[in-house]
Structure 1
Amino acid sequence: MPISILRLLASVLSLALIVSTSATAEPKLEMHRVGVNVDDGAGWYPAVSTKGSFSVLLPIPFNDFTTRDPGTGEVSHVVGGKSSEGIKFTAVELPVTARTPVDLAAIPKSVSSNPANKVSDVSRNTKDDVDNLSFSVANSATAAHFRYIRMKGTLYILTIDCPNAYRDVVAEKKEKFFGSFKLKGKS
């Protein structure tokens, strides 16, 4: 049974993309909104994180929640959804911690160390103390696209994960989803 690319990446980074865990206690989940189904008229759902500092556009209805790890006190803000076809769109805001890679270039290198994964479309740029990394990963069962945005003290991770049968559908939505990321109060 193939390992989900998101799970592989989470173990590589020691970061949970959706919910952080602690050895001592389960994370506390604060659900802000469930199944938000209000689109912009063009089939995209404006997702403004209730307690996070970001917004994105999602092509599917979404949930909006915050997790707090009682062991570390770390807080993650998440908006994301999963379609009936198994396509997942997620945007996460995490604090930069000692577990966060100092060099984002290490992430696709770590993922590609598994021979089952094919990493492609690696793109990285840094401007005004903002480090951006994007890449894609495919294996025999799934495909995924990632965008990392590291700013002072905060890491934002945008992900798309899908069964291979929906790669073309996802490819049509990737740029709009990734390009829609905004910090609250910024245009």
Structure 2
Amino acid sequence: MSSRMTHLKSHRPQGRVALLLCSLMLGSLTHAEASPSVQMHRVGGGTLSADGWTEAASTLGNFSVRLPCLFNDFRMTPASGEVVMADGVGCPAGAIRLSAVRAHYRDEATASKYFENIATAEKEPGAQIERSTQDGHATVTLRNETDAMCAQARTVRAGASNILLIVEGPRSQCDDIKASATPFLASLKLGIGEVAAVPVPTSLPECPLQLELADGPVQSAFNALPHDAIDQTEEQKCQPATVMTVTIRRQGICRIGDTTMSMASLVTRKDTGAPIELTFGTWYGPDKDAALKAFLESQHARQPISVYARPTSITHDVTTVVRQPGGTLLSLIRPSPGSQGTTFSTVTQLAPANLELVRNLDTCH
């Protein structure tokens, strides 16, 4: 993906154990380049009883736990990926943090896949992983102690969702963490409140790859694409100065063949608004990448890599180069072998006349 996308910051949970488990359970949510939207239902909710604990019922997550502190109650909605939404409650109890997050996936098979990823994850030093059941639901419990931290976490399978319960804090608080973890993990109850219906993806339009990069039609087609979030960044240090507009939609923006694209970006000249480069992206997967390649090559003649004179850092990732009628160039770019973190397959469109300009922009950035 172009270096001009780096202004989209990644969203990652704090804490080593939280990062390990959340990245496995939530998948693309924790690695998404666009931060998920957050709907806060309550801040400092609950009433502490005589024992210092309170019942924390998720407003929309259909679960509750007991917590030794007043809690926040929220829903996160990612911009794209396999997690449709995530409902959570959590709070700090001194130096200890407790949280419960229910990740809702598109279907039960996807939820099961992420659960098994956790159950078979390679143990970190000092970690113990064990399978069990809780109220008829399969669980995986992790206990981890290092020189710096102490944590206990449990993942519970529940239909098309997984529920992650975490208690973690500094190594000096390990005794208190163990004492809190036992009643906290055992307190999970399902069936509190209602889970909002999972959105059903609507029929998506075809991505406007058939349009030449001429002033007017491309901008209109780009602006008409459905989206959940939009971001615009001006780059004035490059010459000529450009504006990059990025749109993202969790259910998909448009489709190329049968492949749903979740991100679109349009680079235009700041002075004239003329389009320079149009890109569509989807989370990388070998099957999706192969489907994009097959579709593009079925529609357009493949060209030698020499016709697409991009910088080396980008051209070595190009898997297909095709020329549309009228000369517009398309490239299918996938991540380099060994790429870490969020990876995309992107289909980029630009006119041959803009090749040198795009090269200069990449160098500038």
Measured against the shorter chain, the TM-score band is 0.7 to 0.9
Normalising by structure 2, report the TM-score: 0.43
Cα pair 2:112 2:157 within 8 Å, conserved: no
Match of 1:119 in 2: 127
Equivalent positions of 1:1-187 (< 5 A) are: 4-11=16-23, 13=24, 15=26, 20=30, 22-23=32-33, 25-72=34-81, 74-85=84-95, 87-96=96-105, 100=111, 102=113, 104=115, 106-107=117-118, 109-112=120-123, 114=124, 117-120=125-128, 122-126=129-133, 130-185=137-192
Deviation of residue 128 (structure 1)? 8.3
Structure with greater strand percent: 1
**How big is each residue's C-alpha offset from its partner over 1:1-56, in whole Å with a ceiling of 9 and x where there is no partner?**
xx722123334x1627xx74533x32111001112251122210110001110000
TM-score by length of 1: 0.80
3-state SS of the aligned residue for 2:113? Answer: coil
Secondary structure of 1:102's counterpart equals: helix
7 and 147 in structure 1: CA distance in 2 versus 1, 3 angstrom threshold: same
In 2 relative to 1, CA 150–51 (structure 1 residues): closer, same or farther, beyond 3 Å? same
- Taking every aligned residue pair, what percent have the same amino acid on both sides? 27
CA RMSD of aligned residues (A): 2.7
Higher-RCO chain (CA-CA 8 Å, sequence separation at least 6): 1
Moved over 6 A (4+): none
CA contact (8 A) 1:134 1:147 kept: yes
Question: Aligned residue pairs: how many?
Answer: 175
Code of the aligned partner of 2:89: V
